[in-house]
Amino acid sequence: MTNNTPRVALVTGGSGGIGRTVVERLARDGMAVGVHYAGNKARAEETVAAVQALGGRAVAVSGDVADEHAMSDAFDTVEREFGGLDVVVNTAGIMLLSPIATLDLDDLDRMHRTNIRGTFVVSQQAARRVRRGGAIINFSTSVTRLQFPAYGAYAASKGAVEAMTLILARELRGKDITVNAVAPGPTATELFLDGKDQAAIDTLAKAAPLERLGTPEDVAESVAFLAGPARWVNGQVLYTNGGVA
């Protein structure tokens, strides 16, 4: 790959929320982007259209992140469309909250399938396919440090994501591929704000020294840093939370 070859990214969970903001940010940096979705094709196609309207290149790809055959097909599509793959960002994940004592174990299994197995499957494909000079970026959470009640199972799944991310960075020695995780704090997404009253939102906003919630754009900036100029940042968890922890 030469320096003037356009870079290519695949963003899982790229059709909405933080994922869509990451897609749009990488597209502004000149990357062609595979926009992965699990169930909402229309929203993924809207994201692709938004990138194309700004002169960028994008394609929608689907599949269960925990299904290795579906993800192999998704990677194949991006490579076939754009000629290779340089950056994989795995934003896909689910969050089901409950105290450990009362957690429905079916919810535990659902989170582990998507958050742990899904991250593993995507990371495995990325490790096999990303070109030299590329980057693999997984998603953790600042709750691994914050220890909020009711987040036990979710934080446990993300602790596993951090472990596999940091080990993969060492396993890719000599390949010139960085592997890192972004760990957002409280971020003003539709999912995060749902079900919270204004007092709860205000309390969380005051928790950071910067005294506001994060935005999807804040998180996307960290991803863009790791995906592009941050070639000497490797095997790290980047806590993107305004200093809350």
Which residues have a catalytic role annotated? 154
CA dihedral 209, 237, 185, 27 (to 10 degrees): 110
| Contact between residue 177 and residue 135 where contact means Cβ atoms under 8 Å apart | yes
Reduce the DSSP state of residue 200 to 3 states and report it: helix
| Contact between residue 29 and residue 3 where contact means Cβ atoms under 8 Å apart | no
Residue type, 131: R
| Contact between residue 164 and residue 141 where contact means Cβ atoms under 8 Å apart | no
Q: Within a 10 A sphere around the Cβ of 104, how many other Cβ atoms? A: 11
Residue type, 105: L
Phi, psi of 122 (to 5 degrees): -65, -40
Residue type, 158: K
Reduce the DSSP state of residue 135 to 3 states and report it: strand
Q: Within a 10 A sphere around the Cβ of 123, how many other Cβ atoms? A: 20
Rounded-to-integer distance, Cα 95 and Cα 30, Å: 31
Rounded-to-integer distance, Cα 130 and Cα 113, Å: 24
| Contact between residue 10 and residue 87 where contact means Cβ atoms under 8 Å apart | yes
